[in-house]
Amino acid sequence: MSKRDDEQQEDKHSGSAVGGGLLDRRLFLKRGLQFSTVTALAAGDMTAQGEEDAAMPAPAPQAVEPWMRQPGKPFSNYGQPSKYEKNVIRWVAGNPDVPGNGVSWTPFQDLEGIITPNGLHYERHHNGVPRIVPDRHRLVIHGLVEQPLMFTIDQLKRYPLESRICFVECGGNSNASWHKHPTQTAVGYFHGLVSCSEWTGVPLSTILQEAGLKPQAKWLIMHAADAVSLSVSIPVEKAMDDAILALYQNGERVRPENGYPLRLILPGWEGITNVKWLRRIRAVTEPVMSRSETSRYTELLPNGKARQFSFIMEAKSIITSPTIGFQMDGPGLYQISGLAWSGRGRINTVEVSADGGKSWAPAELQEPVLPKCFTRFRIPWQWDGKTAVLQSRAIDETGYVQPSRAAQLKERGTNAYFKFNAIVSWEIASDGYISHVYE
């Protein structure tokens, strides 16, 4: 294939122009001269702009602000965000009758990159955050093992540690999308029960090998040290694969609301299985059939069968900008940005549409693209000022394609509550107003 053929092939797949304006990964390159002019002006460099730029007036002198004339604040023992970012917070939705039962969402609309700050990681608690004294906390492994073991936190820290950069997503994330009418709220306060961190700890396989699992041990019952005594079952295969006993989150000790002093991390699996405040592991022949795997996290399908132990979080993507709350300042060039993830591995492609799925253009994936981890995608969009519907769809390395909402409803029916991962649509009206719609 010739270079020209390559370019024509790229032209065929890189842009989308059916309504709503043009989507093309190369738009920023095409508009590069204008952006470089702005950059040069900001630097005060008028010497290399050519005759046209030379005729432009020089920028006004910058003011000398008060903070440039006096010493700044002294050191602090633990850094905090600027007071001007005070509105970048988790939105909490709890039960007034049981204050410790509820959730808090990660504010995607205010964040960038792929790593969620520890203080903004989503929360899901059933009976509050336990006030655990780490020196008194123990992890016990027993049941179908050759040698029952008990560890203090300090003993676990002595083992060789490993890190996993991965997302953790509540099975109930985005569940308002099952509703008949689209919810109108900020993207993070709708789809933000998922966050991504670097988790560091002891591979669970190391501890299980030391305890000596018996051949008949097929499941592990994980018990938490919270007031609700949460317990869930996981297959031994996952425990021996990539599970870790996490002691650290993004380099510092795990926060109390995220499982301090010890939590289980199962990359790619639903949040309820990533047990926080882990205190006991019991090896058994079959699952315990606890509340969190019978009355909850089990759903009736249209064919009369039920989904149970559907641990993996399927491929999903969500546009985080522009969405509800974003100010569209008339027609022009905008960046569309968002996040994609899959519990089955790496994200292979994210496609973006500006016309409600009639045509698609591939977005750029920001490196690194890691398995079972957030992947940031971006694509320039030349908005023509007409009504447009923005969508994104993720395709992971297994070939799984994020479904439309109609396809997911057909498969899962109207009784569904968990694991919504269908395409989400944002309508941009001609006046710039943004709303959540169903397509």
Q: Where are the domains of the chain?
A: 118-307, 316-437
CA atoms within 13 A on the CB side of 23: 29
pLDDT tens-digit series, residues 251-297 = 999 999 999 999 999 999 999 999 999 999 999 999 999 888 888 88
What is the identity of the amino acid at 123?
A: E
Spatial neighbors of 285 by CB under 8 A, at least 6 apart, are 144, 216, 217, 218, 219
Q: Which DSSP letter does residue 270 get?
A: B
| pTM, entire model | 0.89
Question: Hey, what amino acid is at 142?
Answer: H
Handedness of CA 354, 356, 359, 360 (dihedral sign): positive
Helix boundaries (H) for 339-390: none
Supply φ then ψ for residue 376, to 5 degrees. -85, 130
Task: Give me the architecture of the 118-307 domain, per CATH.
Answer: Alpha-Beta Complex (3.90)
**pLDDT tens per residue across span 363-422:** 999 999 999 999 999 999 999 999 999 999 999 999 999 999 999 999 998 888 899 999
DSSP 212-233: TB-TT--EEEEEE-STT--EEE
pLDDT band at 205 (very low <50, low <70, confident <90, very high): very high
Average pLDDT over residues 339-343: 98
Own/partner long-range contacts of 56-62 (Cβ < 8 Å, ≥24 apart): none
Domain 316-437 CATH assignment equals 2.60.40.650? yes
